[in-house]
Structure 1
Amino acid sequence: MNHLPLGIAINSVDPSVDFQYMNDRFPEIYGTTRETLESGVDFFDAVYEDAASRRRIRDRVLQDCHGGDVERMVWENIPLFRAGRE
């Protein structure tokens, strides 16, 4: 899994995002570093700079995970804006 071209992570989401595993592509895709994500900083704060986007995606992820329907736990085409770039 370490050499896949896509980001893979195993983590909890509630009460916080805590990583058990992530490959090198995972933080790269989110425009951050492994150290930042493993430091205890809130994942959504580290990844989504825009407060409205951060709140919207955090609420959606938590709601979908708490619902228990695995089909709703697939999130595709979610835009990620970082310092003027998409």
Structure 2
Amino acid sequence: MKVGMVASHYPHAVYREEFISRVHRVAEEFRRTPGCLSADCWVPVDGDAVISIVQWESEEAFAASFAAVEAAGLDLAYDERESRPREMVRLMAS
């Protein structure tokens, strides 16, 4: 069963471009993982959020993607570069 995730990130303005690059690097690693169907970075036309949308073919592929990102040493941690906590929504196909 397909699963997905939508994550809204809120970087401080001074870190916005760095954060967008960070999300793109993570998305690239996700896409290299077998079973990842798509991984993209979006920014609203009006607003300051950075939104990542990822889709996998299964829960196992989801777990493998996160393990690959961690193994690659990419930064997923929430920290002071963000102005407020992330909003994450896990999805499953119906």
**Could you state the TM-score of these two structures normalised by the residue count of structure 1?**
0.34
Please state which structure has a larger fraction of its residues in helix: 1
Structure with the larger RCO, 1 or 2 (CA within 8 Å, 6+ apart): 2
**Could you state the TM-score of these two structures normalised by the residue count of structure 2?**
0.32
Please state which structure has a larger fraction of its residues in strand: 2
